[in-house]
Amino acid sequence: MLFYGVGPKKLVDFSADWFLIVGDMSALPAIGANLEQMPETAKGYAIIEILDEKDKQSLRIPDGIQVKWIINPDPQRSGEVLLDAVREAQWLDGRVDVWVAGELNAIRAIRSYLKEQRNVGRDQMYASSYWQFGRTDEQHRTEKSRDKF
């Protein structure tokens, strides 16, 4: 029997000019860890999808990070909801560092948009799927491995 646990902590590159952090509720602990370790001078966005207003959490957030809580009770629509929010974010000057995690199809869509429309390089982006709608953990791992996350 195999057991899977939390992998090594993946943090943004704190030397970037600004940050874009995106994820759903499955990524909330890692989002919190990133935000808490950022310098007080950090600027950018944290876009967090939750199911209900009650799911909001108190996070230590640098003043320059704008947090957008997106309430979406339909996880099947996660990809389009999160992608729309990322598209709406004003692109800032300087070098961005992106951290995005959550449902596989949402992460695929966001990663594709950032690479193709915003020219974000692989070295500027951490993208990981934590789960896949309608799939078991094993099915998700198989699908994820095809994606080269």
Mean pLDDT of successive 10-residue stretches along the chain, which has 149 residues: 47 92 95 95 97 94 97 82 95 97 93 96 93 70 67
Question: Count of domains in the chain?
Answer: 1
Predicted pLDDT at 133: 73
Q: Looking at the domain assignment, is residue 51 inside a domain?
A: yes
Q: Looking at the domain assignment, is residue 7 inside a domain?
A: no
Residue 113 — φ and ψ, nearest 5°?
Answer: -60, -50
Q: Looking at the domain assignment, is residue 1 inside a domain?
A: no
Predicted pLDDT at 135: 62
> What is the domain range of residue 42?
18-147
Q: Looking at the domain assignment, is residue 13 inside a domain?
A: no
- What is the rounded distance in angstroms from the CA atom of residue 106 to the CA atom of residue 79? 3
- What is the rounded distance in angstroms from the CA atom of residue 60 to the CA atom of residue 34? 10
Q: What is the CATH number of the domain that holds 125?
A: 3.40.50.80
Predicted pLDDT at 51: 93
Q: Looking at the domain assignment, is residue 39 inside a domain?
A: yes
Provide the sign of the torsion angle of the four alpha carbons 74, 76, 78, 84, taken in this order: negative
Q: Looking at the domain assignment, is residue 137 inside a domain?
A: yes
DSSP state of 149: -
